[in-house]
Structure 1
Amino acid sequence: MDLVIRAPRAVTPDGETACNVGVSGGRIATVEPYDAEIPAERVVELGDDVVLLPGLVDTHVHVNDPGRSEWEGFETATRAAAAGGVTTIVDMPLNSLPPTVDVAALEVKRKTALGRVHVDVGFWGGAVPGNRAELRPLHDAGVFGFKCFLLHSGVDEFPPLDDAGLEAAMRELSSFDGLLIVHAEDADTIEHAPAPHGPRYADFLGSRPPAAETTAIARVIELAGRTGARVHILHLASAEAIPLIERARRDGVAVTAETCPHYLSFTAEEIGDGATQFKCCPPIRQAGNRERLWQGLADGVIDCVVSDHSPCTPELKRFDTGDFGQAWGGIAGLQVGLPAVWTGARQRGFTLTDVVRWMAQRPAEQAGLRRKGRLAEGFDADFCVFAPDEAFVVDAAKLRHRNPVSAYHGRPLAGVVHSTWLRGRRITGDEPHGRLLTRDAR
């Protein structure tokens, strides 16, 4: 073996156990009992205060590069990912310029990322009005699926699909088993809600009611059932939609769903006036809703937890006015997702095995990353060495994100990432050795 990691505690597909993990050629070659002798060029002995996890998979990251690299960028985003135990990200098609809505734009993005990434990076394509003919070429070029909006995305160059466009995209994708991932908020519902303005969080929350999510999700499910398309609901914030998803699955609709660490961590009741670092769309809702999201994870209706890392410059958060109507909507949380989720999970009786399922195994499966997300033979040797009982307080200025803006600033969290490994090699942040992934080379 090139490397053996001896772990008194490790999370495998069978649960937490003591084992030795042997690595050869960047892949896990064997997982043996802890007392097994495995010859290797290098042996790493872990203490019993840390747990060996598979590298996390974050399938919802806005890198914003090229075009808005002052918001983030491939170098900073992937360093932050590695610092948070994440070894694979999938980049969203919007907020970069050009958006990833055709093969030419995908090539621009890949050239921008090449040689600059510290973790492995895949790409989503976009489904927008007028690009139906581009979907199959993008699929053939290796994107993992296609994102669409049902209302204004926040940037004019990535417009939403209307009902006819949504059905047309689903029919096209079903012809080659492509995946549609949906920002599911209903434009008409939000248009008839009070407009967001001023520093009161309650006013912003009222501008994006739960009905906007449930209405949109019901429409996505109905069209998916009619067309046979595979669909995935992004960043589920309203627990009122959980029964819709559960019923759709019983009816045979191919629908999955994710939620995010910020929806599991924060509550509307604790967000103060002008605290625009908490603004995201859909919004963080009340405490009772948060607990129902946790139950949705426990029941398996919500499949996975990913960051929806959507950073911006401090100026765009409008801290000068605290106006929720004017501030950019997005939370930067790529680096702190694991401790944020673990902090909430352990308080509710969940285990690290649960967290690994939500943040590594299921995101990889949902995106089709067949060699990611598990400590098992044949999988990439991507590891996170995590100290679950070590605590820290988040300091936004010390995070690896490009801009020191974080809703988690000042929040005490449990769990510290000690090291992160990509294909059997420790990530130091000095020399990037991540790869650009395609759907066919996963």
Structure 2
Amino acid sequence: MTFIICRGSQVLLPSSSSLQPATIIIEADSGKIVEVHPRILSEDSLPPHVHLIDGGPNVILPGLVDAHVHLNEPGRTDWEGFCTGTKAAASGGVTTVVDMPLNSIPPTVTVENLSVKRAAAQGQCFTDVAFWGGVIPGNQADLKPLVDAGVKGFKCFLIESGVDEFPCVDEKDLNESMEVLQDQPTTLLFHAELDNHTAPVDDPSDPKSYSTFLSSRPDTFEVDAISLITQLQHKHPNLPCHIVHLSSSKALPLIRDARKAGLKLSVETCFHYLCLSAEDIPHGKTTAKCCPPIREASNRELLWDALKDGTIDIVVSDHSPCVQALKKIDEGDIMGAWGGISTLGLGLSLLWTEGSRRGISLAQIIDWTSVKTAKHAGLEERKGKLQTGYDADFIIWNPDAKFTVAEESLQFKNKISPYVGLELRGRVEKTFLRGSLVYDGSRGVEGIEPEGMLL
């Protein structure tokens, strides 16, 4: 039997919130962790037939689980694909992504469509990939078969999604779908914006102004949506529900009240809501457009506080790419541009750069981006921890390295990101999936075969 040994002086184990020496023994064929020793084992203490990975002065962390990614293949593969998207993920220490049911064509709203997507992904992935299903008007009969086929949960929109093949649902659709799902081992995810038609627009004549866009999607969109969701939960209390990409701190009291009432409600926010602010977005900078929008710096700090106190559970990328023409970069038309931010490969560095300024530890960051995201996606028995019986997914991480984000360094397909030019702290040196190298900072993925599994 062949073993892989990973050891280092700074390892994040689930039994501790601080870094410590450790040796991790991995069975090579299965890629599973078989032993974890809270010390560095000497050469003569190691089993025979080993491949040794030594972290040296760097930190060894569990691989991240990004539970909100749009890979768009098939159908919009020119936007993003399984190969380029998972390469980008691996470059940022992400070892598992959970793909959203849109913007691919077909969307993941039937078992047949899920099969088409899985066939497109086969043999292309540098990370493991799981799948969310979708709830749209009229697909209630497809929901239980999708659960049986392995989707990790279902996403729906309370506002138009931006693509015709994934329409939004109304209260009637939701009651019918929640009735079907309430006794299933699943979760219902909500894009929580509800258009109340009362949004003022500061200057509708200036589509290049970020304030115009921000006023077109006010906080009330999120507050009203989450109010509706919690009302529905009272009717269907057995079904866990989840708010994707929360941007508005004004919804936090509703979420806290729902938790106090015993509702099964979890919440995510995104790197961009924690790292960017509306005041700093230049006139005509379309790369910063997303839905719901990036809000003010004061709002950002309240989101950080909600993460710290546990009101917000997890942090994800919501990597939502498109082709350059749809971003309308040359025109600077924020109102007309596609709403989505590309982040894969940068999330850990972004969160460490901003979090360390606020006294946030690596253990907290891994809890938000790995431990709890794995649980959210139903993968908590194999992902998110350096623990016996788990997949040997881990990162060699240099927390002190600094780099400036450059277009040519981005691994995703369309090199469009609001982070270009930003100096970040913390760099992934190597990423391992089940003990196998899937990204090397010195050469990217050159010469590395895609070994990702479809979960």
Distance apart, 1:35 and its partner CA: 3.6
The question of whether the paired residues in 1 share the 8 Å contact of 2:199 and 2:218 is answered with no
What are the equivalent positions in structure 2 for 1:25-424 lying under 5 Å apart?
A: 25-36=30-41, 37-40=45-48, 41-48=50-57, 50-189=58-197, 192-194=199-201, 198-228=207-237, 229-369=239-379, 370-424=381-435
* Superposed displacement of residue 404, structure 1: 1.2
1:5 corresponding residue in structure 2: 6
> How far apart in 1 are the matches of 2:396 and 2:224?
41
> Deviation string for 1:160-215 (max 9, x for gaps)?
000111122112110213210110001224x6443966100011000010111011
CA contact 2:7–2:40 (8 Å) conserved in 1: no
List per-residue Cα deviations over 1:277-300 (Å, max 9, x = no partner): 000000000000000111111001
- CA deviations over 1:302-358 (Å, ceiling 9, x no partner): 111000000011111001221111100000001101100111110000110001001
1:384 deviation in Å? 1.0
Aligned-pair distance for 1:421? 0.3
* Separation (CA, whole Å) in 2 of partners of 1:129 and 1:35: 56
1:20 alignment counterpart: 23
Q: Residue 217 of structure 1: SS of its match in structure 2?
A: helix
State how far apart, in whole Å, the 2-side matches of 1:244 and 1:336 are: 31
Q: Tell me the amino acid that sits aligned with residue 223 of structure 1.
A: L
Deviation, structure 1 residue 249: 1.2
Could you tell me how far apart the structure 1 residues matched to 2:371 and 2:46 are?
A: 26
> Any idea what the Cα deviations from partners look like across 1:47-89, whole Å, max 9, x if unmatched?
22x1100000001000000000000100000000000100000
How far apart, in 2, do the equivalents of 1:415 and 1:200 lie? 33
Give yes or no for contact 2:199–2:217 (8 Å, CA) kept in 1.
Answer: no
Would you say the 8 A contact 2:98–2:131 is kept in 1? yes
Letter of the 1:45 counterpart:
D
* Cα contact 1:364–1:373 (8 A) shared by 2: yes
CA distance in 2, matches of 1:341, 1:162: 35
TM-score of the aligned structures, taking structure 1 as reference length: 0.96
Whether contact under 8 Å (1:258, 1:303) holds in the other structure is yes
Q: CA deviation at 1:240?
A: 1.2
Deviation per residue, 1:383-406 (Å, 9 max, x gap): 011101100000122210101101
CA contact (8 A) 1:177 1:230 kept: no
Give 1:39 deviation, angstroms.
1.9
| Contact 2:23-2:39 within 8 A present in 1 as well | yes
Q: Quote the RMSD (CA, aligned, Å).
A: 1.2
1:17 maps to amino acid: Q
Deviation at 1:260, TM superposition (A): 0.5
* Structure 1 pair 252–98 and aligned structure 2 pair: CA distance change class (3 A): same
For residue 442 of structure 2, what is the aligned residue in structure 1? Answer: none
SS for the counterpart of 1:361 is helix
Q: What displacement does 1:376 show?
A: 1.0
- Structure 1 counterpart SS, 2:79: coil
Which digits, 9 at most, give the CA deviation of each residue in 1:398-441, with x for residues without a partner? 2101011011100000000000000011114331110000xxxx
Q: Structure 1 residue 150: deviation in Å?
A: 0.3
- 1:372 corresponds to which letter in structure 2? K
Per-residue deviation, 1:31: 1.1
Unpaired runs of 5+ in structure 2?
Answer: 440-444
Q: Is the 8 A contact 1:30 1:377 kept in 2?
A: yes
Instruction: Work out the CA distance in 2 between the residues paired with 1:186 and 1:322.
Output: 27
What count of residue pairs does the alignment treat as equivalent?
435
Determine the structure 2 residue equivalent to 1:435: 453
Q: Output the CA distance in 1 between the equivalents of 2:233 and 2:186.
A: 12
Question: Match of 2:399, SS?
Answer: strand
The letter of the residue matching 1:187 is D
Aligned residues of 2:277 and 2:294 also touching (Cα < 8 A): yes
SS at match of 1:416: strand
Contact 2:9 2:40 in 1 (8 A): no
5+ residue gaps, structure 1? 438-442
Percent identity reads: 47
* 8 Å contact from structure 1 (residues 396, 408) kept in 2: no
The alignment partner of 1:427 has SS state of: strand
SS at match of 1:311: coil
